[in-house]
Amino acid sequence: MPEPRSKSISLLLVDDSITLRQWWKAILSGIPGVLVVAEAASAAQALELFETLKPDAILLEVDLDRGDGFDILRKVHAMDPGCFIITVSTDRNQECQRKCYDSGADYHFSKLDPIDGLIAVLNARLGR
């Protein structure tokens, strides 16, 4: 896992479900030092916001309806190798996880797992 950049993290949320984006934002904004700077519903919107805002981290649903999450993952990693990339999916199989890590993810989270693991990873990133 890359070293923390600072005591705060600017985060871009990417998920095609507005309900899940709102849920992610509510949960992650409650972590001191995590600032959700934008939300994207599609691959095109995600890349545009990433290039404009240059966030420290991105939470990326890899199973997007409008675009390929793995394509976004590879492009974000190429644009900013220091960006902390968290991939999420409903898939728990090791093939999906391996593909995420091979494409540049720093952490993969299954939506079926307790959120505590993701919160712990962000707190560790913040140096706690």
Retrieve residue 19's tokens.
Answer: 């309900």
Question: 28 vs 32, 79, 96, 120, CA distance in Å?
Answer: 9, 24, 23, 11
Q: Running DSSP on this structure, what letter comes out for residue 32?
A: T
Give the per-residue pLDDT at 113: 87
Alpha carbons 107 and 85: distance in angstroms, whole number: 7
Neighbour count for residue 21 (Cβ, 10 Å):
19
Q: What is the pLDDT of residues 30-67, one digit of tens each?
A: 999 999 999 999 999 999 999 999 999 999 999 887 77
Alpha carbons 107 and 84: distance in angstroms, whole number: 8
What residue spans define the domains of the chain?
A: 13-125
Q: What is the pLDDT of residues 60-113, one digit of tens each?
A: 999 887 778 889 999 999 999 999 999 999 877 788 889 999 999 999 998 888
Q: CB-hemisphere CA count at 13 Å for 126?
A: 18
Fold assignment, 13-125: Rossmann fold (3.40.50)
Retrieve residue 74's tokens.
Answer: 């590879």
Cα 70–Cα 21–Cα 83 angle in degrees, nearest 5:
45
